[in-house]
Each structure stands twice: as structure tokens, then as C-alpha cells.
A and B are shown apart, each in its own frame.
Chain A
């Protein structure tokens, strides 16, 4: 049972375009929703995170949109660059569990 469903599995975007990755969750107890970026041969690194009391959070070119009623959240990468080419994971956690439940990942390729 996958508690966090992520789509698409892969994404190709032109340089300067907008990359959008979507996630949906089942467990309404989740209260923390981070996005992680992973380059080949490396561990995931925190990109941006949001809590359900806000509907949007922006950090530079990266924005999380959160829809609590639909149980969905998404990552938007504005002005996508070739250096953004990586695998992106959404995740969620519940209070007290102290560990993350991950989506299946999206491999993003930004073409120059």
C-alpha cells in the first residue's frame, strides 16, 4: 500500500520552462510534506517543505502548492535549468513517527 502517490514517473522540460510534479496522499494524519532532490550516486537532499496550515510556499524558483481538501501537493520549478536535472521525491510524515514516507520519485530531465 503506497501512502504517497507521485506522478509523473519521468518528465522532460525545455530550459526556461516550468516543471510540475504532483503527489497525493491517503493518511490525513500527515502533517509535514517535504520534497527531496537526488543526483545520481548521492543521497536525497531537502529541497523545500510545507506544513498543512499554509497553501503555498516559495523558495527561489521552487514552489510547493498544497491542497488539504484534495489531499494533494505539488512542486513547481520555474525557469527550469539543466542543473535541475535530477530525481525528485515527495514525502510525508506524521507526528510521533519521526520518519518519512516517500513517493516513488520523478526523474526530471531539463534539455538545454
Chain B
């Protein structure tokens, strides 16, 4: 049982490049979400999904796309990287309506630097 797996752990991009941050969970969780963590700002929600084929925007969605073709995977795409997207990105998953009991399980993060 690996939990939530994020890849890569570190990435350096040049401005304008695109890339996909991968997130996979093996707990059969319905809910998945992406957050970015910046100093002094906590974790801010980028996009979330309540199940395969269903996604919605969070607080800071601009510049990011997501899709959820399977229950297990929830990739985050940066369309044209900008220095403002330098951050640590976390993926999280939760077991549907039991999320208030078991909470959200977070991956170990992807540290992204855009130069």
C-alpha cells in the first residue's frame, strides 16, 4: 500500500516550458486534489476532483489543467511555466464521504523551480 505517490520529486523548468506533475493513489479514494505551498501562505487549492471524469477549479487554477480519466490518477499540467509557479506542489486524496473521519492523505510533494 503506497498511499499517494507524486513524481517527480524535484523539477527545474524554463519559462514557457510545459510539464505534467503525476499523482497516483492506490487506496481507491474518490476525492483527489492539488495544492501549492508557498512560504507564509499555507496550502492553496488549485484543482480538485470528486471522481473519474469530474474536476473543478479551486482558489488558484490559472495556468494549470487537470483531468481524471481513472480513479487512481490525477495529473496536473502546467501549460506554459512562469516564475510565479515556482512552488511545492502537493497531491491529496480522500475516501469520499468518510473524509471527515480519515482525513486527506497527502503525497510527499514536488518541488518545482521555474527559471
Contacts and interface: CB of A to CB of B under 8 A. Distances in A.
Nearest to B41: A104
Contacts of B53: none
A98 B45 CA distance: 11
B103 A43 contact: no
A70 interface: no
B42 A103 contact: yes
Contacts of A51: 100
Contacts of B90: 43-44
A104 B58 contact: no
Nearest to B47: A99
Contact of A45 (B33, B48, B58, B106): B106
A65 B8 CA distance: 38
A86 to B, nearest CB: 14
B104 interface: yes
14 contacts: A6-B42, A43-B92, A43-B108, A44-B43, A49-B100, A49-B103, A89-B43, A93-B99, A97-B48, A98-B31, A98-B50, A100-B43, A100-B92, A104-B42
Interface of B: 4, 31, 33, 35, 40-45, 48, 50, 58-59, 90, 92, 94, 99-100, 102-104, 106-109
